[in-house]
Every structure is written in C-alpha cells, then in structure tokens.
C-alpha cells in the first residue's frame, strides 16, 4: 500500500534503472547507425538505419563478407564488407574475386551485375597494387563497398586494423526490418 505521495519515488527509481540499462546496452552491445552515401548499394542504401552489434567479435573473429563498421579516422566511421582476412592473398580479374588463387562467388553483387551488364562492377586489381602487401597481415582485414565503382575502401584507404572495427551491421530496421544476410552469402 502506497503512502500518499510516495509512488513517485518508486516510479523515479524504476525509470532511472531503465535508463541505466538502456545506456549500458547502447554503450557495450548495440548501437543504431545511419548509412551515409551510396558505397554499399544495393545491400544498404543512403539513409538506411542499421543496428550494429558491438559484441560480434568479442569471442569470434570477423568472417569474409561480414558487413562491418570501423573507425576510418578519428572523426568518421565507415561501413563496408570484409573481403580479405589475415593470411589471404586476393585479386580481381574479369569481375571475379580470387582469394588464395580460388574464385569466390559474391552473390550480393548480382543486382549490380544485372544492372551494369556487360560492364565490370569491380576493376581488376591485386592486393599488392592497392595496399603494398602480398598477403593480408595478422590483425588486419581488406574491405570493399558493394558499390565498387563509388566506394572509398581498402583500395584507397588501405587495410583496416581489427582493433578499429566497432561492430557488425546486424540488420536494417528502417525503412523496413530486413535481415542483413541471406542464406548462402557467406563463404
């Protein structure tokens, strides 16, 4: 039974507790982000709202084709797709990704390939031409935007340190709830 005027204290404590839990969750586990630009089209569009899972790599390593958010500079974070992992060699020839001298399909690029056919989506390059490394060193990944013609990615900014990865893009919540991966997209 509440004493007259005491109910607000309990409400204030519950509200404070809820705000604290939300703050801790946002700080440690998830964060909303807004995609800026067209570098991840058609997977992510400009102004899409995405939930980023900050805890994705606490107990596991990044995987090929994960879409990650990373610190590109002190002022700016980028969202790109991991293409190369530590120990990999990679190159593109005739619009085909080769990792460790094996062709690797990229099903997430099919909509662009249909749009640009017969033009190339990804111009030919080697890891050494773009980064100066023959093999991706430990502690680094190679990233590309899905819209290869309009992406500021590892071909220009170089390899991304794993320590600079903030988290993995889990799903788009606006404009619609959309899963980030469909079955078979991962290697």
Q: Active-site residues: which are they? A: 39, 80
CA distance 72 to 62: 17
Yes or no: say if 84 and 99 are a contact pair by the CB < 8 Å rule: yes
Instruction: Give the DSSP per-residue string, 97-146.
Output: EEETTEEE--GGGHHHHHHHTTS-SS--EEHHHHHS-SSPPTTEEEEE-S
CA distances (Å), origin 180, targets 7, 67, 114, 134, 139:
44, 8, 21, 31, 25
Q: Which residues contact 162 (CB under 8 A, 6 or more apart)?
A: 57, 62, 139, 140, 141
Instruction: Give the DSSP per-residue string, 164-176.
Output: GEEEEEEEEEESS
Determine the straight-line distance between the first and last CA of the chain, rounded to whole angstroms. Answer: 60
């Amino acid at each position: 039974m509440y004493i007259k005027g005491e109910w607000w204290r309990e409400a204030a404590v519950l509200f404070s507790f809820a705000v604290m839990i939300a703050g801790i969750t946002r700080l440690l586990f998830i964060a909303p982000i807004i995609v800026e630009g067209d570098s991840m089209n058609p997977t992510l569009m400009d102004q899409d709202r995405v939930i980023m899972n900050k805890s994705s790599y606490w107990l596991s390593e990044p995987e090929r084709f994960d879409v990650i958010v990373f610190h590109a500079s002190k002022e700016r974070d980028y969202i790109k797709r991991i293409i190369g992992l530590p120990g990999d060699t990679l190159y593109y020839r005739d619009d085909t990704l080769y990792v460790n001298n094996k062709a690797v399909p990229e099903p997430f690029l099919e909509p662009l390939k249909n749009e640009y056919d017969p033009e190339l989506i990804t111009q030919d390059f080697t890891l050494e031409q773009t980064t100066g490394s023959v093999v991706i060193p430990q502690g680094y990944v190679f990233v590309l935007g899905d819209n290869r013609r309009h992406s500021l990615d590892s071909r220009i900014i170089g390899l991304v340190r794993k320590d600079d990865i903030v988290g993995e893009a889990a799903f788009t919540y606006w404009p619609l709830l959309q899963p980030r991966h469909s079955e078979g997209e991962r290697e």
